[in-house]
């Protein structure tokens, strides 16, 4: 029996490709000299896509008439046009839960690094300035007495909140909908959240709806002792407005793991001493990335074996069992 054809548009971790290879015929588009010619040659056989941090847009979906499933590596899937996939009956899966604790740990680390200026303190030691100039200057920022506002109190947001509670922080949040199962203070708008807190943690998904939610108005509301942490998606922040706010002292500092146009980081942010910048490492441990990769494999194998996936996204709910896959 022929194995389903899967398109791999961009490089993925070897453990994912090794996991898929026994079950599928893989078409590694990124290895082709002429990608368009290769795509044209296989397009009407492709039944699945495995993708990592690269776009799967309308144009690609439309080129693949037999496409059934897009398996995305990552819980955020703003790179995939899931709404359009939904209209075409194409399932989209992501990799939630297995990365929640890792990302929450990174978010807390980034918050402390930013508030206490730890990267600058480490540079001070490595540059020999401790010996030549004395102790690193006292930091204006402290976690003591801070109130944390979370934009996006979902799986990761809640894991961050639990950790922040252990640090003695009061927790507020803004989502589109109030959460029934948490004791934290809800705000119906992001501006009212920013007014109520001095530390704002962004964990909301990317996409048009959240694009540039954080701009001048929110940063002004956060205030001069304000600290912004972004572990969600870069597109949520207007980076030019943030750079200006950091330069002018509208807020105290920012810690960013994600950027609007990765891997490009605006020079205006690189130039600022009160910005801590990480290269999108929220989930980036071998163990967690392996668990995410296994979920990509399990979703594709499950779909083609018995019409089930483990983690469909909200836009493409899967029926309990697809008729085309039999019992």
| Closest separation in Å from C-beta 31 to ligand NAP | 26
Q: End-to-end CA distance of the chain, in Å? A: 18
Which residues are at the interface with ligand NAP (CB under 6 A)?
Answer: 75-76, 96, 99, 103, 152-157, 174-177, 203-206, 209-210, 231-233, 257-258, 280, 282-283
Concatenate the DSSP letters of all residues of 212-272 into one string: T-BSHHHHHHH-TT-EEEE-S-GGGB-HHHHHHHHHHTSSSEEEES--TBTTB--HHHHT-
Which is nearer to ligand NAP, 177 or 264 (by Cβ)? 177
Contact between 19 and 71 (Cβ < 8 Å): no
Which is nearer to ligand NAP, 204 or 241 (by Cβ)? 204
Which is nearer to ligand NAP, 63 or 280 (by Cβ)? 280
**Which of the residues are catalytic?**
233, 262, 280
Tell how strand 46-52 and strand 185-186 pair up: unpaired
- Residue 205 CB neighbours (<10 A): 16
What helix, strand, coil percent values describe the chain, rounded to 5? 40, 15, 40
| Closest separation in Å from C-beta 78 to ligand NAP | 7
| Closest separation in Å from C-beta 59 to ligand NAP | 23
Which is nearer to ligand NAP, 46 or 56 (by Cβ)? 56
Packing angle of the helix pair 100-115, 118-126 (nearest 10 deg)? 70
For residues 245 and 251, give the distance between their C-alpha atoms in angstroms, rounded to a whole number.
Answer: 6
Cis peptide before 321 (omega within 30 of 0): no
| Closest separation in Å from C-beta 69 to ligand NAP | 20
| Closest separation in Å from C-beta 28 to ligand NAP | 25
Q: Which residues make Cβ contacts (< 8 Å) with residue 21, sequence separation at least 6?
A: none
Closest by CA position to 24, among listed 327, 292, 296: 296
Which is nearer to ligand NAP, 34 or 181 (by Cβ)? 181
| Closest separation in Å from C-beta 114 to ligand NAP | 15
Which is nearer to ligand NAP, 3 or 13 (by Cβ)? 13
Contact between 62 and 42 (Cβ < 8 Å): no
Q: Quick one: DSSP state of residue 4? A: P
Measured CA to CA in angstroms, residue 109 lies from 34, 104, 230, 281, 315 at distances of: 43, 9, 12, 11, 32
Which is nearer to ligand NAP, 27 or 289 (by Cβ)? 289
Tell how strand 147-151 and strand 46-52 pair up: unpaired
């Amino acid at each position: 029996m022929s194995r389903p054809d899967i398109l791999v548009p961009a490089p993925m971790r070897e453990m994912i490709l090794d996991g898929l290879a026994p079950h599928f015929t893989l078409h590694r588009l990124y290895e082709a000299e002429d990608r368009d010619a290769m795509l044209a040659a296989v397009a009407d056989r492709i039944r699945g896509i495995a993708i990592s941090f690269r776009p799967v847009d309308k144009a690609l979906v439309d080129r693949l008439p037999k496409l059934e499933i897009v398996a995305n590596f990552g819980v955020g899937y703003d790179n995939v046009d899931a709404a359009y996939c939904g209209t075409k009956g194409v399932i989209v899966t992501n990799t939630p839960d297995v990365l929640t604790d890792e990302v929450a740990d990174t978010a807390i680390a980034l918050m402390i690094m930013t508030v206490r200026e730890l990267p600058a303190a480490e540079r001070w030691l490595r540059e020999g300035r401790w010996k030549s100039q004395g102790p690193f200057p006292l930091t204006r920022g402290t976690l003591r007495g801070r109130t944390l506002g979370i934009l996006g109190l979902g799986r990761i947001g809640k894991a961050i909140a639990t950790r922040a509670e252990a640090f003695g922080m009061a927790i507020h949040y803004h989502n589109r909908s109030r959460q029934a199962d948490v004791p934290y203070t809800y705000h119906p708008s992001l501006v009212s959240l920013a007014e109520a807190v001095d530390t704002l943690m962004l964990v909301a998904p990317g996409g048009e709806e959240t694009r540039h939610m954080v701009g001048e108005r929110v940063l002004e509301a956060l205030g001069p002792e304000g600290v912004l942490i972004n572990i969600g998606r870069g597109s949520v922040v207007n980076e030019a407005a943030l750079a200006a706010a950091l330069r002018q002292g509208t807020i105290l500092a920012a810690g960013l793991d994600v950027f609007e146009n990765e891997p490009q980081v605006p020079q205006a942010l690189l130039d600022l001493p009160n910005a801590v910048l990480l290269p999108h490492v929220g989930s980036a441990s071998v163990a967690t990335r392996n668990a995410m990769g296994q979920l990509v494999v399990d979703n594709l194998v499950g779909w083609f074996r018995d019409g089930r996936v483990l983690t469909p996204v909200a836009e493409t709910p899967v029926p309990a069992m697809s008729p085309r896959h039999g019992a």
